[in-house]
Chain A
Amino acid sequence: EPEVTQTPSHQVTQMGQEVILRCVPISNHLYFYWYRQILGQKVEFLVSFYNNEISEKSEIFDDQFSVERPDGSNFTLKIRSTKLEDSAMYFCASRTYRGSNEKLLFGSGTQLSVL
């Protein structure tokens, strides 16, 4: 089955630094998402992206976060100035919409550690 791929698998950064998390969604998918999971907590929605624009974002997704689909295949999440509390596993997900098929497929995640 096609997969959503994410790089890097681990990212360690200093507080205040910028990080870019990369994702390659499945090629015929139209909707893209970022979720995160802080250790021991629920998976939380960050942002959804469709037709080259953000369609919905959560309260977590403040001005420090941005998303981009720079070249039609990659989908990136940028955190401009990382904080300790940004440490989490970040999951990219994508889906296609055909009738009622809304199955969301997740990448293997990027573990972000902010020191």
Chain B
Amino acid sequence: EDKVVQSPLSLVVHEGDTVTLNCSYEVTNFRSLLWYKQEKKAPTFLFMLTSSGIEKKSGRLSSILDKKELFSILNITATQTGDSAIYLCAVVRGYGNKLVFGAGTILRVKS
């Protein structure tokens, strides 16, 4: 059975802290891994990772994939209250390209 496991389940930090969110997976026919941020409703796309060892960066956020150890991390530096959200990891599997989601990490950034 396909599995995507995120840790921690929730995290409370202060503004300015750096956080690392983890995602491990076991899926058949892995194609890519995606990170989303979910605030009130729709997940909004952050990163798509297909190759090991290549860091993707967008402002204070960065992410990297390790296809040998089957995990990815999402880093957020200098956190702000606007970073408070649920961060979802999802893996694209198979040729139907459906996403298998993890349960998410709830991040709360206190001012």
Instruction: State the A residues within 8 Å of B (CB).
Output: 31, 33, 35, 41-45, 48, 55-56, 58, 89, 91, 95, 100-109
With A42-B104, A43-B90, A104-B34: A48-B45 Cβ-Cβ less than 8 Å: no
Interface of A is mostly: strand
Write out, one digit per residue, whether chain B residues 20-37 have a CB within 8 A of any chain A CB (1) or not (0). 000000000001101010
Contacts of A56 in B (CB 8 A): 94, 96, 98
Contacts of A102 in B (CB 8 A): 31-32, 48, 92, 97
**CA distance in complex: A48, B97 (Å):** 8
Say whether B50 contacts A107, CB under 8 Å.
no
In the assembled complex, 10 residue pairs joining A and B whose CB atoms fall closer than 8 Å, in A order, are A33-B99, A43-B88, A43-B90, A43-B101, A48-B98, A56-B96, A56-B98, A89-B41, A102-B97, A106-B43
Contacts of B109 in A (CB 8 A): none
Say whether B98 contacts A33, CB under 8 Å.
yes
Contacts of A91 in B (CB 8 A): 42-43
State how many residues of chain B have any CB contact under 8 Å with chain A: 24
Contacts of B31 in A (CB 8 A): 102
Q: Across the two chains, which residue of chain B brings its CB closest to A91?
A: B42
Interface of B is mostly: strand
Q: Across the two chains, which residue of chain A brings its CB closest to B36?
A: A106
Among B50, B97, B101, B104, chain A packs the most CB atoms within 10 A around the CB of: B97
**CA distance in complex: A55, B95 (Å):** 9
With A102-B31, A102-B32, A105-B45: A48-B88 Cβ-Cβ less than 8 Å: no
CB-CB contacts below 8 Å: B41-56 with A: 41-45, 48, 50
**CA distance in complex: A108, B38 (Å):** 10
Question: A48-B98, A106-B44 provided; 13 other pairs, C-beta below 8 A?
Answer: A41-B103, A42-B102, A43-B88, A45-B100, A48-B96, A55-B96, A56-B96, A58-B98, A100-B32, A102-B48, A104-B97, A106-B36, A106-B42
